[in-house]
Amino acid sequence: MAQSKIHEEDDRRSCWVCFATDEDDREASWVRPCRCKGTTKWVHQSCLQRWIDEKQKGNSTTKVVCPQCNAEYLIIFPRLGPVVYIMDIADKIIYKTCPFVAGGIFIGSVYWTAVTYGAVTVMQVLGHKEGLNVMERADPLFLLIGLPTIPVMLILGKMVRWEDYVLRLWRKHSAKLPLLHYLFPDEFSRYTRVPADTVPLSDPICATRVLCGALILPTIATIVGKLMFGSVQSNFQRTLLGGIAFIAIKGVLKIYYRQQQYFRQANRVILDFPEESINPPQTSESH
Ligand SMILES: [Zn+2]
Ligand SMILES: [Zn+2]
């Protein structure tokens, strides 16, 4: 009784994709892939395969659900042979590890660039021969850690904005020192307005500028040392003096420049609107 009922229902199968029934194609294989009843219960294997292909858009691991009842289709693949299985696993491992390997290569190249830069700087600061001697005598482990810290320390040092602190102190206390009033009389007499705090004290830190400035500092220090302290015999002392002199001079100039900009800001004046422009040109002609 029950069996004949199922048979009756199966006789009236129709595919919800192509609407063909058993009578239209007796050979086709059928599947009922979800909870749906009635007209959307049955579908051709081949029709549903095509439909799933369209939904997956080439990614065979994407889950596909019935558009009516939201049940996930159970898709089973034939068992893989051992060779294909191993290749499949290897492929997945390579896919997952590649980003880490690439990251490692990138970090490694940055590290070795830093080591090379450190070695060049040591030779530049100590002199070619003495630098090589020092590095040959040093512990290799110490070099591998010490040399790359040279550019790092230069960059960190460059990020210390000591000029800002000096400038802030100057602005806070300069008005209280009578000597400064005497030395820069017009600065204080024209000093009428205090610019709002929203006006930035200095330009924001620019990454490329910090990087370039920091990495070129040893070269500049060597040049300034040779120009200003040529009589100093020791390469290291001469370069150190050159570096300190360069930073000090540059700092003073920067502070001067900022302070001038500050006074421009403080002493700006807003003008009256010019009278002629208020009246349109036609009326001024009629006068
Ligand atoms: Zn069909
Ligand atoms: Zn369904």
pLDDT of residue 262 exceeding 50: yes
Q: Give residue 62 CA to ligand 1 midpoint distance, Å.
A: 22
Q: Give residue 21 CA to ligand 1 midpoint distance, Å.
A: 8
At 106, list the tokens: 């990138």
- Which of 238, 266, 275 shows the shortest CA–CA distance to 127? 238
- Looking at all shown ligands, the one closest to residue 25's CA atom is 1
- Contact between 246 and 221 under an 8 Å Cβ cutoff? The reply is yes
pTM for the model stands at 0.58
- Contact between 151 and 124 under an 8 Å Cβ cutoff? The reply is no
Q: Give residue 45 CA to ligand 2 midpoint distance, Å.
A: 14
- What pLDDT score does 30 carry? 92
Q: Give residue 198 CA to ligand 1 midpoint distance, Å.
A: 71
- Domains annotated for the chain, with CATH where assigned, are 2-56 (3.30.40.10), 79-159 (no CATH), 161-273 (no CATH)
pLDDT of residue 75 exceeding 70: yes
- What pLDDT score does 4 carry? 46
HSE of 270 in the Cβ direction (CA atoms, 13 Å)?
Answer: 2
CB count within 10 Å of CB 238 equals 22
- What pLDDT score does 287 carry? 46
Q: Give residue 7 CA to ligand 1 midpoint distance, Å.
A: 20
pLDDT of residue 164 exceeding 90: no
CA–CA separation, 42 and 19 (whole Å): 10
Burial of 148 (0-12, 13-18, 19+ CB in 10 A): buried
Q: Which of 89-93, 114-118, 181-185, 269-273 has the lowest mean pLDDT?
A: 181-185
Q: Give residue 71 CA to ligand 1 midpoint distance, Å.
A: 19
Q: Give residue 72 CA to ligand 2 midpoint distance, Å.
A: 9
At 33, list the tokens: 């892939």
Mean pLDDT along residues 73-86: 89
